[in-house]
């Protein structure tokens, strides 16, 4: 594994281990009714984290065999990530199944990160017309994004 990625992989694994029991113990009211500033419930935030891991797995895989720079849809632009949440209807998904999907897709992402070819780190994804992101940058930013949304969940748990 690329040494620089060890904190990312370890961080994902640690957070998944810490958060799984927390999520499983939340009440229906807390996961389904409280909404953050983006009007998302905890179920929808967890759904977004599933989508984020899934999209990042695809980016990481594509960036290791496609010609660079690579054009892959950015599911998060123009509010599309909210469309993903709505179309998949995370709000009505079985909570225990959703947590398991969140857990295992993030653990799989950690595994995929561990197996990145070092010579592909500077391959670029065309994130938008004026923004390119290297494979290395994608990996290094993932944990920040993961923690951002876990902090949103904390805020909803703690809100009255």
Residue-by-residue DSSP string for 13-64? HHHHHHHHHHHHTS-HHHHHH---TTS--HHHHHHHHHHHHHHHHHHHHHTT
**Per-residue pLDDT, 160:** 66
**Per-residue pLDDT, 76:** 81
123 vs 69: CA distance, rounded Å: 6
Print pLDDT tens along the chain (160 aa): 999 999 999 999 999 999 999 999 999 999 999 999 999 999 999 999 999 999 999 999 999 999 999 998 888 877 789 999 999 999 999 999 999 999 999 999 999 999 999 999 999 999 988 999 999 999 999 999 999 999 999 999 999 6
Q: Which sign does the torsion angle of CA 159, 52, 107, 15 carry?
A: negative
- Reduce the DSSP state of residue 1 to 3 states and report it: coil
**Per-residue pLDDT, 10:** 98
CATH class for the region spanning 3-158? mainly alpha
User: Helices (H), strands (E): how many in the chain?
Assistant: 6, 2
**Per-residue pLDDT, 75:** 84
Domain ranges of the chain: 3-158
**Per-residue pLDDT, 88:** 97
């Amino acid at each position: 594994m690329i040494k620089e990625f060890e904190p990312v992989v370890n961080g994902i694994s640690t957070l998944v281990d810490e958060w799984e029991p927390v999520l499983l113990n939340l009440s229906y009211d807390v996961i389904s009714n409280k909404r953050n500033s983006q009007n998302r419930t905890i179920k929808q935030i967890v759904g977004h984290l599933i989508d984020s891991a899934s999209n990042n797995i695809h980016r990481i895989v594509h960036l290791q065999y496609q010609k660079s720079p690579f054009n892959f849809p950015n599911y998060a632009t123009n509010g599309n990530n909210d469309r993903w949440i709505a179309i998949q209807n995370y709000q009505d998904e079985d909570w225990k199944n959703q947590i398991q999907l969140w857990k295992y897709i993030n653990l799989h992402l950690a595994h995929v990160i561990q197996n990145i070819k070092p010579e592909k780190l500077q391959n670029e994804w065309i994130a938008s017309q004026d923004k390119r992101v290297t494979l290395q940058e994608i990996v290094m930013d993932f944990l920040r994004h993961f923690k951002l949304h876990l902090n949103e969940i904390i805020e909803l748990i703690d809100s009255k």
